[in-house]
Structure 1
Amino acid sequence: MVKAVSFVAKSGTGKTTLLEKVIVHLKSRGYKVGVIKHDAHRFDIDHPGKDSHRLTAAGADTMLISSPEKLALVKKHSQSPPIEELIETYFSDMDIVLTEGFKKSGMPKVEVNRQERSAALLCRGESHDPTLVAVASDAKLELDVPVLDLNDAGAVADFIEATFLK
Protein backbone atom coordinates (compact mmCIF):
# COMPACT_ATOMS: atom_id res chain seq x y z
CA MET A 1 0.00 0.00 0.00
CA VAL A 2 1.41 3.37 -1.05
CA LYS A 3 1.74 5.92 1.75
CA ALA A 4 -0.18 9.15 1.27
CA VAL A 5 -0.62 12.41 3.12
CA SER A 6 -2.88 15.32 2.25
CA PHE A 7 -1.94 18.98 2.59
CA VAL A 8 -5.09 20.93 3.45
CA ALA A 9 -5.82 24.61 4.04
CA LYS A 10 -8.08 27.43 3.05
CA SER A 11 -7.53 28.70 -0.49
CA GLY A 12 -4.65 31.15 -0.81
CA THR A 13 -2.74 29.86 2.22
CA GLY A 14 0.27 28.53 0.30
CA LYS A 15 -0.34 24.77 -0.05
CA THR A 16 1.07 24.58 -3.57
CA THR A 17 4.15 26.65 -2.72
CA LEU A 18 4.94 24.47 0.30
CA LEU A 19 4.29 21.27 -1.66
CA GLU A 20 6.65 22.36 -4.46
CA LYS A 21 9.46 22.79 -1.94
CA VAL A 22 8.70 19.55 -0.04
CA ILE A 23 8.71 17.61 -3.34
CA VAL A 24 12.17 18.99 -4.20
CA HIS A 25 13.48 17.87 -0.78
CA LEU A 26 11.97 14.36 -1.02
CA LYS A 27 13.20 13.91 -4.61
CA SER A 28 16.74 14.93 -3.57
CA ARG A 29 16.60 12.11 -1.00
CA GLY A 30 15.80 9.58 -3.72
CA TYR A 31 12.06 9.09 -3.19
CA LYS A 32 9.52 8.58 -5.97
CA VAL A 33 6.84 11.19 -5.27
CA GLY A 34 3.33 11.28 -6.73
CA VAL A 35 0.96 14.21 -6.40
CA ILE A 36 -2.81 14.48 -6.71
CA LYS A 37 -4.44 17.91 -6.75
CA HIS A 38 -8.11 18.18 -5.91
CA ASP A 39 -9.97 20.67 -8.06
CA ALA A 40 -13.54 21.44 -7.03
CA HIS A 41 -14.04 23.25 -10.32
CA ARG A 42 -14.00 22.02 -13.90
CA PHE A 43 -10.58 21.92 -15.50
CA ASP A 44 -9.32 21.05 -18.95
CA ILE A 45 -5.84 19.86 -19.84
CA ASP A 46 -7.02 19.23 -23.38
CA HIS A 47 -6.79 22.40 -25.47
CA PRO A 48 -8.87 23.28 -28.56
CA GLY A 49 -7.00 22.69 -31.79
CA LYS A 50 -4.96 19.77 -30.43
CA ASP A 51 -5.65 16.25 -31.73
CA SER A 52 -6.27 14.98 -28.20
CA HIS A 53 -8.96 17.63 -27.71
CA ARG A 54 -10.56 16.72 -31.03
CA LEU A 55 -10.72 13.04 -30.04
CA THR A 56 -12.24 13.83 -26.65
CA ALA A 57 -14.70 16.28 -28.23
CA ALA A 58 -15.70 13.53 -30.68
CA GLY A 59 -16.93 11.52 -27.71
CA ALA A 60 -14.01 9.42 -26.43
CA ASP A 61 -14.73 8.47 -22.79
CA THR A 62 -11.04 7.86 -22.10
CA MET A 63 -8.19 9.40 -24.07
CA LEU A 64 -4.51 8.84 -23.30
CA ILE A 65 -1.67 10.66 -24.99
CA SER A 66 1.80 9.17 -24.64
CA SER A 67 5.31 10.31 -25.54
CA PRO A 68 8.74 8.87 -24.71
CA GLU A 69 8.89 10.94 -21.51
CA LYS A 70 5.31 11.24 -20.17
CA LEU A 71 1.67 10.41 -20.58
CA ALA A 72 -1.59 12.19 -19.86
CA LEU A 73 -4.94 10.54 -19.33
CA VAL A 74 -8.32 12.19 -19.76
CA LYS A 75 -11.06 9.96 -18.39
CA LYS A 76 -14.61 11.21 -18.18
CA HIS A 77 -16.67 10.22 -15.16
CA SER A 78 -19.90 11.23 -13.49
CA GLN A 79 -18.24 11.79 -10.11
CA SER A 80 -14.71 11.89 -8.80
CA PRO A 81 -13.45 8.45 -7.73
CA PRO A 82 -12.43 7.99 -4.08
CA ILE A 83 -8.88 9.19 -3.42
CA GLU A 84 -7.88 5.70 -2.24
CA GLU A 85 -8.93 4.28 -5.63
CA LEU A 86 -6.92 6.92 -7.51
CA ILE A 87 -3.82 6.14 -5.45
CA GLU A 88 -4.19 2.38 -5.89
CA THR A 89 -4.84 2.65 -9.65
CA TYR A 90 -2.29 5.27 -10.71
CA PHE A 91 0.40 5.53 -8.02
CA SER A 92 1.39 1.97 -7.05
CA ASP A 93 4.99 2.64 -8.19
CA MET A 94 5.47 5.65 -5.88
CA ASP A 95 7.09 5.76 -2.43
CA ILE A 96 4.66 8.45 -1.30
CA VAL A 97 1.71 10.39 -2.67
CA LEU A 98 1.19 13.97 -1.56
CA THR A 99 -2.24 15.38 -2.18
CA GLU A 100 -3.45 18.93 -2.19
CA GLY A 101 -6.96 19.30 -0.88
CA PHE A 102 -9.20 16.34 -0.03
CA LYS A 103 -10.09 17.91 3.35
CA LYS A 104 -12.94 15.46 3.86
CA SER A 105 -10.91 12.32 3.16
CA GLY A 106 -9.80 9.86 5.82
CA MET A 107 -6.14 10.29 4.85
CA PRO A 108 -3.51 11.65 7.23
CA LYS A 109 -3.39 15.43 6.91
CA VAL A 110 -0.91 18.24 7.33
CA GLU A 111 -2.78 21.51 7.71
CA VAL A 112 -1.08 24.56 6.25
CA ASN A 113 -1.75 27.66 8.34
CA ARG A 114 -0.75 31.23 7.56
CA GLN A 115 -1.94 33.58 10.31
CA GLU A 116 -2.55 36.58 8.03
CA ARG A 117 -4.86 34.36 5.92
CA SER A 118 -6.73 32.77 8.84
CA ALA A 119 -6.02 32.24 12.51
CA ALA A 120 -8.66 29.48 12.66
CA LEU A 121 -7.65 25.92 11.80
CA LEU A 122 -9.80 23.64 9.65
CA CYS A 123 -8.88 20.47 11.55
CA ARG A 124 -8.79 21.92 15.08
CA GLY A 125 -11.54 24.49 15.01
CA GLU A 126 -15.25 23.79 15.04
CA SER A 127 -14.50 20.16 14.28
CA HIS A 128 -11.70 17.89 15.54
CA ASP A 129 -10.26 15.89 12.62
CA PRO A 130 -8.58 12.77 14.06
CA THR A 131 -6.53 12.32 10.86
CA LEU A 132 -4.53 15.53 11.45
CA VAL A 133 -0.86 14.56 11.93
CA ALA A 134 0.78 18.01 11.91
CA VAL A 135 0.28 21.71 11.25
CA ALA A 136 2.74 23.76 9.17
CA SER A 137 2.30 27.33 10.40
CA ASP A 138 4.02 30.69 10.54
CA ALA A 139 2.83 31.06 14.16
CA LYS A 140 3.77 29.37 17.43
CA LEU A 141 0.69 27.26 18.11
CA GLU A 142 -0.03 24.99 21.06
CA LEU A 143 -1.64 21.86 19.62
CA ASP A 144 -1.96 18.12 20.22
CA VAL A 145 0.05 17.46 17.02
CA PRO A 146 3.51 18.67 15.94
CA VAL A 147 3.66 22.26 14.71
CA LEU A 148 6.15 22.64 11.86
CA ASP A 149 7.66 25.87 10.53
CA LEU A 150 5.72 26.78 7.39
CA ASN A 151 8.84 28.53 6.05
CA ASP A 152 11.12 25.49 6.53
CA ALA A 153 10.17 23.02 3.79
CA GLY A 154 13.17 20.86 4.76
CA ALA A 155 11.70 20.36 8.23
CA VAL A 156 8.31 19.51 6.72
CA ALA A 157 10.03 16.98 4.42
CA ASP A 158 11.89 15.57 7.47
CA PHE A 159 8.53 15.06 9.20
CA ILE A 160 7.01 13.36 6.13
CA GLU A 161 10.06 11.12 5.80
CA ALA A 162 10.16 10.15 9.49
CA THR A 163 6.40 9.62 9.76
CA PHE A 164 5.60 7.88 6.48
CA LEU A 165 8.79 6.66 4.80
CA LYS A 166 10.97 5.16 7.56
Structure 2
Amino acid sequence: MKVFGIAGFSGSGKTTLIERVLPLLNARGLRVAVIKHTHHDFDIDRPGKDSWRAREAGAAAVLLSSDHRTALLTEHRDAPPPLASLLAQLPPCDLVLVEGYKREPIPRLEVHRAATSKPWLYPDDPHVLAVASDIAPPQALNAVPSQKITRIDLDAISLITDFIQTHALSVPTA
Protein backbone atom coordinates (compact mmCIF):
# COMPACT_ATOMS: atom_id res chain seq x y z
CA MET A 1 0.00 0.00 0.00
CA LYS A 2 1.21 3.50 -0.78
CA VAL A 3 0.31 6.68 1.10
CA PHE A 4 0.23 10.30 -0.01
CA GLY A 5 -0.97 13.36 1.87
CA ILE A 6 -3.05 16.31 0.74
CA ALA A 7 -2.59 19.28 3.07
CA GLY A 8 -3.77 22.86 3.26
CA PHE A 9 -5.90 25.21 5.27
CA SER A 10 -9.68 24.95 5.44
CA GLY A 11 -11.28 26.19 2.24
CA SER A 12 -8.19 25.62 0.11
CA GLY A 13 -9.83 22.87 -1.94
CA LYS A 14 -8.29 19.68 -0.56
CA THR A 15 -11.49 17.64 -0.77
CA THR A 16 -12.33 19.03 -4.21
CA LEU A 17 -8.86 18.08 -5.44
CA ILE A 18 -9.28 14.55 -4.08
CA GLU A 19 -12.67 14.31 -5.81
CA ARG A 20 -11.04 15.28 -9.11
CA VAL A 21 -8.02 12.98 -8.75
CA LEU A 22 -9.92 9.84 -7.67
CA PRO A 23 -11.54 9.07 -11.05
CA LEU A 24 -8.16 9.28 -12.81
CA LEU A 25 -6.51 6.98 -10.26
CA ASN A 26 -9.43 4.54 -10.57
CA ALA A 27 -9.15 4.66 -14.38
CA ARG A 28 -5.50 3.62 -13.98
CA GLY A 29 -6.69 0.50 -12.19
CA LEU A 30 -5.87 1.59 -8.64
CA ARG A 31 -7.98 0.83 -5.60
CA VAL A 32 -7.85 4.04 -3.60
CA ALA A 33 -8.88 4.73 -0.01
CA VAL A 34 -9.20 8.15 1.63
CA ILE A 35 -8.52 9.02 5.25
CA LYS A 36 -9.71 12.46 6.32
CA HIS A 37 -8.89 14.14 9.60
CA THR A 38 -11.34 16.71 10.89
CA HIS A 39 -11.02 19.09 13.80
CA HIS A 40 -14.78 19.17 14.21
CA ASP A 41 -16.90 16.68 16.11
CA PHE A 42 -18.98 14.56 13.78
CA ASP A 43 -21.37 11.65 13.94
CA ILE A 44 -22.55 9.65 10.95
CA ASP A 45 -24.96 7.74 13.16
CA ARG A 46 -28.57 8.79 13.78
CA PRO A 47 -30.07 9.27 17.24
CA GLY A 48 -32.48 6.49 18.12
CA LYS A 49 -31.06 3.91 15.67
CA ASP A 50 -29.80 0.61 17.11
CA SER A 51 -26.13 1.44 16.49
CA TRP A 52 -26.52 4.85 18.13
CA ARG A 53 -28.25 3.25 21.12
CA ALA A 54 -25.40 0.73 21.52
CA ARG A 55 -22.83 3.54 21.53
CA GLU A 56 -24.91 5.58 23.97
CA ALA A 57 -25.08 2.54 26.25
CA GLY A 58 -21.28 2.36 26.36
CA ALA A 59 -20.05 0.29 23.39
CA ALA A 60 -16.44 1.22 22.61
CA ALA A 61 -17.05 0.34 18.96
CA VAL A 62 -19.98 -0.48 16.71
CA LEU A 63 -19.54 -2.02 13.29
CA LEU A 64 -22.40 -1.55 10.84
CA SER A 65 -22.57 -3.77 7.79
CA SER A 66 -24.96 -4.12 4.86
CA ASP A 67 -24.86 -5.57 1.37
CA HIS A 68 -23.39 -2.27 0.15
CA ARG A 69 -20.97 -0.94 2.77
CA THR A 70 -19.41 -1.31 6.20
CA ALA A 71 -18.71 1.40 8.77
CA LEU A 72 -16.75 1.07 11.99
CA LEU A 73 -17.65 3.65 14.62
CA THR A 74 -15.17 3.94 17.47
CA GLU A 75 -15.17 6.38 20.35
CA HIS A 76 -12.02 8.38 21.08
CA ARG A 77 -12.02 10.11 24.43
CA ASP A 78 -8.68 11.90 24.13
CA ALA A 79 -6.85 12.12 20.83
CA PRO A 80 -7.50 10.66 17.41
CA PRO A 81 -5.67 7.41 16.68
CA PRO A 82 -2.32 7.63 14.89
CA LEU A 83 -2.37 7.30 11.13
CA ALA A 84 -0.62 3.91 11.26
CA SER A 85 -3.50 2.35 13.22
CA LEU A 86 -6.05 3.78 10.76
CA LEU A 87 -4.08 2.41 7.81
CA ALA A 88 -4.12 -1.02 9.47
CA GLN A 89 -7.94 -0.96 9.55
CA LEU A 90 -8.32 -0.42 5.81
CA PRO A 91 -9.17 -3.20 3.38
CA PRO A 92 -6.52 -4.02 0.78
CA CYS A 93 -5.88 -1.06 -1.51
CA ASP A 94 -3.12 0.32 -3.71
CA LEU A 95 -3.07 3.92 -2.54
CA VAL A 96 -4.36 5.89 0.44
CA LEU A 97 -4.90 9.62 0.09
CA VAL A 98 -4.63 11.27 3.50
CA GLU A 99 -6.35 14.61 3.98
CA GLY A 100 -5.02 16.36 7.03
CA TYR A 101 -2.71 14.61 9.50
CA LYS A 102 -0.17 17.37 8.84
CA ARG A 103 2.17 16.11 11.56
CA GLU A 104 2.57 12.65 10.02
CA PRO A 105 5.87 12.14 8.18
CA ILE A 106 4.38 11.28 4.79
CA PRO A 107 4.97 12.94 1.42
CA ARG A 108 2.31 15.50 0.67
CA LEU A 109 1.00 18.05 -1.75
CA GLU A 110 0.01 21.44 -0.38
CA VAL A 111 -3.22 22.86 -1.78
CA HIS A 112 -3.16 26.65 -1.64
CA ARG A 113 -5.65 29.23 -2.92
CA ALA A 114 -5.02 32.95 -2.93
CA ALA A 115 -8.62 33.60 -1.86
CA THR A 116 -8.05 31.99 1.56
CA SER A 117 -5.41 34.59 2.50
CA LYS A 118 -3.68 31.88 4.54
CA PRO A 119 0.09 31.40 4.79
CA TRP A 120 1.89 28.69 2.85
CA LEU A 121 2.70 25.44 4.68
CA TYR A 122 5.84 25.13 2.59
CA PRO A 123 8.75 25.52 3.43
CA ASP A 124 7.97 25.04 7.14
CA ASP A 125 6.66 21.53 6.43
CA PRO A 126 9.56 19.42 5.11
CA HIS A 127 7.14 16.76 3.82
CA VAL A 128 5.53 19.10 1.28
CA LEU A 129 6.98 17.99 -2.05
CA ALA A 130 4.85 20.22 -4.28
CA VAL A 131 2.12 22.82 -4.18
CA ALA A 132 -1.08 22.81 -6.20
CA SER A 133 -2.13 26.42 -6.36
CA ASP A 134 -3.89 29.09 -8.34
CA ILE A 135 -0.88 31.41 -7.79
CA ALA A 136 2.88 30.99 -7.81
CA PRO A 137 4.55 30.69 -4.41
CA PRO A 138 6.19 33.91 -3.25
CA GLN A 139 9.75 34.29 -4.54
CA ALA A 140 11.07 34.10 -0.98
CA LEU A 141 9.81 30.52 -0.70
CA ASN A 142 12.05 29.44 -3.58
CA ALA A 143 15.08 31.50 -2.54
CA VAL A 144 17.12 28.44 -1.46
CA PRO A 145 17.79 26.21 -4.51
CA SER A 146 17.85 23.02 -2.40
CA GLN A 147 14.33 23.85 -1.19
CA LYS A 148 12.87 24.76 -4.58
CA ILE A 149 9.31 23.51 -4.72
CA THR A 150 7.34 22.11 -7.63
CA ARG A 151 4.21 24.12 -8.43
CA ILE A 152 1.34 22.52 -10.31
CA ASP A 153 -1.69 24.49 -11.41
CA LEU A 154 -4.78 23.47 -9.44
CA ASP A 155 -6.60 22.62 -12.67
CA ALA A 156 -3.82 20.38 -14.03
CA ILE A 157 -5.47 17.30 -12.55
CA SER A 158 -3.62 14.82 -14.76
CA LEU A 159 -0.24 16.28 -13.71
CA ILE A 160 -1.29 16.25 -10.06
CA THR A 161 -2.39 12.63 -10.39
CA ASP A 162 0.95 11.70 -11.98
CA PHE A 163 2.81 13.49 -9.18
CA ILE A 164 0.85 11.66 -6.48
CA GLN A 165 1.43 8.28 -8.11
CA THR A 166 5.15 8.95 -8.55
CA HIS A 167 5.80 10.24 -5.03
CA ALA A 168 3.50 8.12 -2.83
CA LEU A 169 5.30 6.36 0.01
CA SER A 170 5.15 2.58 0.36
CA VAL A 171 4.13 1.53 3.85
CA PRO A 172 4.21 -1.99 5.27
CA THR A 173 0.87 -3.73 5.64
CA ALA A 174 -0.05 -6.23 8.31
TM-score, length-normalised on structure 1? Answer: 0.89
Q: Report SS of the residue matched to 1:116.
A: helix
How many positions carry a matched residue from both structures?
161
Gaps of 5+ in 1: none
Counterparts of 2:16 and 2:111 in 1: how far apart (Å)? 11
Identity %: 41
Give the stretch that moved more between structures: 6-15 or 138-147: 138-147
Q: CA deviation at 1:18?
A: 0.6
Contact 2:107 2:167 in 1 (8 A): no
Counterparts of 1:101 and 1:70 in 2: how far apart (Å)? 24
Contact 1:91 1:97 in 2 (8 A): no
Give a deviation string over 1:108-139, Cα, whole Å, max 9, x none.
11100111223631122xxx222111110111
Q: Report SS of the residue matched to 1:112.
A: strand
1:82 equivalent in structure 2: 82
Q: CA deviation at 1:92?
A: 5.5
Aligned pairs for 1:67-146 (under 5 A) are 67-78=66-77, 79-87=79-87, 89-91=88-90, 93-118=92-117, 120-124=119-123, 128-141=124-137, 143=142, 144-146=148-150
Counterparts of 1:72 and 1:11 in 2: how far apart (Å)? 25
TM-score, length-normalised on structure 2? Answer: 0.85
1:152 equivalent in structure 2: 156
CA RMSD between the two structures: 1.9
Greater than 4 Å deviation, 4+ residue runs: none
